[in-house]
Amino acid sequence: MISKKMSDSLNTHMNLELFSAHLYLAMSSCANEMGLKGAANWFFVQYREEMIHFMKFYTYLTDQGVIISLLASKAVPNKYKSLLEMFQKTLAHEQLITKCINELSEQAVQEKDHATQIFLQWFVTEQIEEENNDRDLIAKLKLVGDNGHGILMVDAEMAQRVFVAPVGSPLAV
């Protein structure tokens, strides 16, 4: 049985995953408007991944008999100067998510909540990949700077990203 304190913390984080989805959907729209169709695709795939993360929390909580609370979502930024700025903001956001996941894991350990510890393990690993992807793209975008041809090459690479629903994921949105 999950404690009220633990389920409240997971519920709060579930809403943050939904915020992440909205953040990246808005970035997809911005990239599209900048003419960067590959980046628009990359952020749209990221949006779909965040919806899976959201649904993983939703399913875990409902499977534990918790009635979830959807909080009013905050407006997300939708103005960026460059693709580099978008990825710098993305990395900062993912570092925040990593910190939150680590705090949730710590709470689960303190409460000796083994089920929640196991549930969170997937996210601990996932966050390494999330941050690493962002750092790679930031490094490439810094290398090309303002060179339009270089940006289009990075954009073409981002067009290759394909959404793959994780095995056993609750919902492929």
Paired tokens of 122: 């997937």
Q: Which is nearer to ligand OFO, 11 or 151 (CB)?
A: 11
The nearest distance, CB 105 to ligand OFO, in angstroms, is 14
Q: Which is nearer to ligand OFO, 97 or 151 (CB)?
A: 97
Q: Which residues bind ligand OFO (CB under 6 A)?
A: 17, 20, 50, 53, 94, 97, 130
The residue nearest ligand OFO at its CB is 20
**Residue whose structure tokens are 């959404």:** 163
User: E strand or H helix at 112, and its extent?
Assistant: none
45 contacts 163 by C-beta, under 8 angstroms: yes
The nearest distance, CB 126 to ligand OFO, in angstroms, is 6
The nearest distance, CB 148 to ligand OFO, in angstroms, is 29
Q: Which is nearer to ligand OFO, 17 or 151 (CB)?
A: 17
Closest CA to 96 of 130, 69, 70, 73: 130
The nearest distance, CB 66 to ligand OFO, in angstroms, is 20
Q: Which is nearer to ligand OFO, 97 or 158 (CB)?
A: 97
Distance between CA atoms of 164 and 166, rounded to whole angstroms? Answer: 6
Cα four-point dihedral sign 111, 114, 115, 116: positive
- Which alpha helices (H) appear in 64-113, and where do they start and end? 83-110
